[in-house]
């Protein structure tokens, strides 16, 4: 018997807030996610986006979990992506809640950015080692991961296909200093338990990697599921077995986003991710004479001096220059529209 004097129809604590919180936790809500919605609205998380609607797992008025395909309200503030927290009214998505971070890449037309997933704790850089390590690709993925603001973790896959995993782990450490590395095989099960332990309640992870890297196979190994995978061609790339971005809830309590492989590893315009991926160079560069030193024949360049003295591998500086020049040419390619706009403005103002 309750001894509360409150009338029956008042919003007494009927356990609903706890039930809602429990459902949201199973959807990967961490203490960093703020998922407050207005009265009369329900909260949910986007698991798949299809064109103009999204599959949302949400919590109903009784605190029970529901899965619905939800249309977007006409005045929706943002286009939802997998991993977004959303407010629903009558099963319409009425607002996308503030993202605490997001994984982005430039849109293929380079005019805009494409958001791949939102509200992430971990970005798993999924890199196969059965044909050696593609350092360039790893570096580019690391830049994307750092730019997202979530923690990167390298997951080396297909360890069963190499006899030299230790050497490849050392190469990985050199390519992305300071980033944790987990070596796995979906075939033998190596590393799968450790991965499972990382993906506990409150953790949202996304798998970032080339097509055929073994992302979906990791999901299947973790969950015993049977999502489609495809064999890898002679080029070492898969044929896009996964075609949609999808959020999975894991038995270990966390959630995992499987996304199609990224073929063209374009970079974001963010310098920050580059600075963090190349933390060794960033650190040495503090001693360069000029703050905007290009580490390329510049006077008083500490980075080049470190290469000369053997302290910094020349390959690191080469990688840094490559990424830096790609970044510059990308922003130039983006520029024409800006240049055209400037020309148009000048024309209009008659100068």
Ligand X SMILES: Nc1nc2c(ncn2[C@@H]2O[C@H](COP(=O)(O)OP(=O)(O)OP(=O)(O)O)[C@@H](O)[C@H]2O)c(=O)[nH]1
Distances (CA, A) of 320 to 119, 280, 300, 317: 29, 11, 18, 5
Which DSSP helix (H) or strand (E) runs through 147? helix 135-148
The footprint of Mg ion on residues 215-234 (CB under 5 A) is 215-216
Region binding Zn ion by CB under 5 A among candidate stretches 2-10, 126-134, 218-226, 303-311: 303-311
Residue 186 found at the interface with ligand X (CB under 6 A) = yes
Going by DSSP bridges, is the β-strand pair 151-157/181-183 parallel, antiparallel, or unpaired? parallel
Q: How far apart are CA 262 and CA 267, in angstroms?
A: 11
Interior/surface letters 13-29, b for 16+ CB within 10 angstroms, e for the rest? eeeeeebbeebbebbbb
Residue 191 found at the interface with ligand X (CB under 6 A) = no
Select 148 or 242, whichever has its Cβ closest to ligand X: 242
Select 56 or 213, whichever has its Cβ closest to ligand X: 213
Q: Which does 183 bind (CB under 5 to 8 A by kind): ligand X, Zn ion, Mg ion, none?
A: none
Going by DSSP bridges, is the β-strand pair 204-209/255-258 parallel, antiparallel, or unpaired? parallel
Q: Which does 211 bind (CB under 5 to 8 A by kind): Mg ion, ligand X, Zn ion, none?
A: ligand X
Residue 238 found at the interface with ligand X (CB under 6 A) = yes
Among 229, 252, 277, 319, binds ligand X (CB under 6 A): 229
Select 97 or 159, whichever has its Cβ closest to ligand X: 159
Select 41 or 220, whichever has its Cβ closest to ligand X: 220
Angle at which helices 135-148 and 314-349 cross, to 10°: 60
Residues 6+ apart with CB under 8 A from 131: 161, 236
Task: Please state the closest distance from residue 103 (CB atom) to ligand X, in A.
Answer: 15
Residue 263 found at the interface with ligand X (CB under 6 A) = no
Which DSSP helix (H) or strand (E) runs through 192? helix 192-198
**Site mask for Zn ion (CB under 5 A), range 248-287, x = bound:** ----------------------------------------
Which DSSP helix (H) or strand (E) runs through 195? helix 192-198
Residue 55 found at the interface with ligand X (CB under 6 A) = no
Among 54, 97, 210, 303, binds Zn ion (CB under 5 A): 303
Residues 128, 211 contacting (CB under 8 angstroms):
no
Region binding ligand X by CB under 6 A among candidate stretches 60-68, 74-82, 185-193, 297-305: 185-193
Closest CA to 140 of 306, 330, 301: 330
Residue 293 found at the interface with Zn ion (CB under 5 A) = yes
Q: How far apart are CA 285 and CA 273, in angstroms?
A: 16
Closest CA to 120 of 261, 317, 256: 256
Region binding ligand X by CB under 6 A among candidate stretches 2-10, 11-19, 89-97, 235-243: 235-243
Residue that is written with structure tokens 């990967």 in the block? 28
Among 28, 152, 214, 254, binds ligand X (CB under 6 A): 214
Residue 134 found at the interface with Mg ion (CB under 5 A) = no
Task: Please state the closest distance from residue 301 (CB atom) to Zn ion, in A.
Answer: 3
Q: Which does 217 bind (CB under 5 to 8 A by kind): Zn ion, ligand X, Mg ion, none?
A: ligand X
User: CB atoms < 10 A from the CB of 37, how many?
Assistant: 17
Q: Which two tokens stand for residue 87?
A: 């407010």
Closest CA to 127 of 202, 183, 199: 183
Select 230 or 340, whichever has its Cβ closest to ligand X: 230
Task: Please state the closest distance from residue 193 (CB atom) to ligand X, in A.
Answer: 14
Region binding Zn ion by CB under 5 A among candidate stretches 27-35, 64-72, 167-175, 299-307: 299-307
Residues that bind Mg ion (CB under 5 A): 215-216, 241-242
Residues that bind ligand X (CB under 6 A): 157-158, 160-161, 185-187, 209, 211-217, 229-232, 238, 240-242, 260-261
């Amino acid at each position: 018997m309750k001894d509360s004097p409150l009338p029956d129809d008042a919003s007494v604590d009927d356990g609903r807030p706890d039930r809602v919180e429990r459902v949201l936790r199973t959807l990967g809500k961490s203490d960093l996610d703020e998922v407050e919605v207005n009265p009369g609205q329900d909260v949910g998380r986007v698991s798949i986006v299809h064109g103009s609607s999204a599959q949302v797992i949400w919590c109903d008025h009784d605190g029970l979990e529901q899965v619905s395909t939800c249309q977007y309200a006409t005045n929706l503030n943002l286009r939802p992506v997998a991993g977004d927290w959303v407010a629903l009214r009558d099963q319409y998505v009425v607002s996308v809640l503030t993202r605490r971070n997001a994984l982005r890449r430039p849109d293929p037309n380079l005019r805009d950015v494409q958001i791949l997933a939102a509200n992430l704790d971990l970005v798993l850089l999924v890199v196969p080692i059965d044909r050696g390590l593609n350092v360039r690709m790893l570096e580019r993925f690391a830049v994307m991961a750092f730019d997202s603001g979530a923690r990167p973790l390298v997951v080396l896959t297909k360890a069963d296909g190499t006899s030299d995993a230790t050497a490849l782990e050392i190469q990985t450490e050199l390519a992305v200093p300071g980033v944790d590395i987990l070596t796995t095989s979906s075939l033998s099960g190596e590393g799968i338990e450790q991965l499972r332990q990382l993906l506990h309640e409150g953790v949202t992870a996304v798998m970032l990697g080339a097509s055929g890297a073994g992302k979906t196979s990791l999901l299947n190994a973790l969950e015993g599921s049977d999502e489609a995978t495809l064999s890898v061609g002679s080029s070492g790339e898969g044929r896009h077995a996964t075609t949609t971005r999808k959020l999975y809830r894991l038995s270990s309590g966390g959630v995992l986003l499987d996304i199609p492989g990224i073929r063209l590893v374009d970079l974001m315009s963010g310098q920050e991710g580059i600075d963090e991926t190349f933390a060794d160079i960033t650190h040495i560069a503090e001693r360069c004479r000029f703050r905007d030193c290009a580490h390329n024949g510049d006077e008083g360049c500490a980075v080049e001096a470190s290469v000369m003295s053997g302290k910094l591998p020349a390959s690191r500086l080469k990688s840094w220059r490559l990424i830096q020049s790609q970044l510059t040419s990308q922003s130039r390619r983006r520029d024409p529209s800006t240049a055209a706009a400037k020309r148009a403005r000048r024309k209009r103002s008659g100068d």
